[in-house]
Amino acid sequence: MSVEIERKFLVRGSEWRALGQGVAIRQGYLSPHPDRVVRVRIEGETATLTIKGRTRGITRSEWEYVIPLAEADQLLNDLCERPLIEKMRTHITHEGMVWEVDEFFGDNLGLVVAEIELESEEQAFSQPDWVAEEVTDDVRYFNANLLLHPYTAW
């Protein structure tokens, strides 16, 4: 088991687009329950099955396993809740730390968020100019909740 410690922010403007190359992500949920999220993801040519526990503060337990691409595709097509989450992820390094910017499509079109993974909840970091309001504690922005309450319906 590993631990995920991350903070999430809205993104302003479009200057971030020139700072990295995006990769397409298609993901779905076998269980969006906050106590045990089970996610299937295809990111580029890699597929993973991820299990996450309940978020406490900005920390949650996480288990992630690489699975065959064909099996992930079958799980996404046949078993995952609808709608699937479709997004483009761009990795951007800012002052030695990697930010993941997710631009959503489909039922979440128009939403752009940036996440930064930390080593501890107290770890300091510098925010790029294109990072706006923090939404870490706003459950509407959890990917599992975006399938239940898509951004375009807010």
> Both tokens of residue 34?
């906050």
141 carries an active-site annotation: no
Would you tell me which CATH number, out of the four given (2.40.320.10, 1.10.10.10, 2.60.120.700, 3.20.20.70), belongs to the domain 2-153?
2.40.320.10
**Domain boundaries of the chain, sorted by first residue:** 2-153
Which listed residue (29, 65, 141, 151) is catalytic?
29
The answer to whether the beta carbons of residues 57 and 121 sit under 8 Å apart is yes
CA distances for 1 relative to 8, 61, 65, 136, angstroms: 22, 7, 11, 22
pLDDT in tens, 69-111: 999 999 999 999 999 999 999 999 999 999 999 999 999 999 9
Q: Look at residue 148 in the predicted model and tell me its pLDDT.
A: 86
pLDDT in tens, 114-139: 999 999 999 999 999 999 999 999 99
Q: Look at residue 3 in the predicted model and tell me its pLDDT.
A: 85
CA angle, 86 then 8 then 79, to 5°:
35
In this structure, the chain runs to a length of 154
Indicate whether 1 pLDDT > 80.
Answer: no
Rg of the Cα trace of the chain? 15
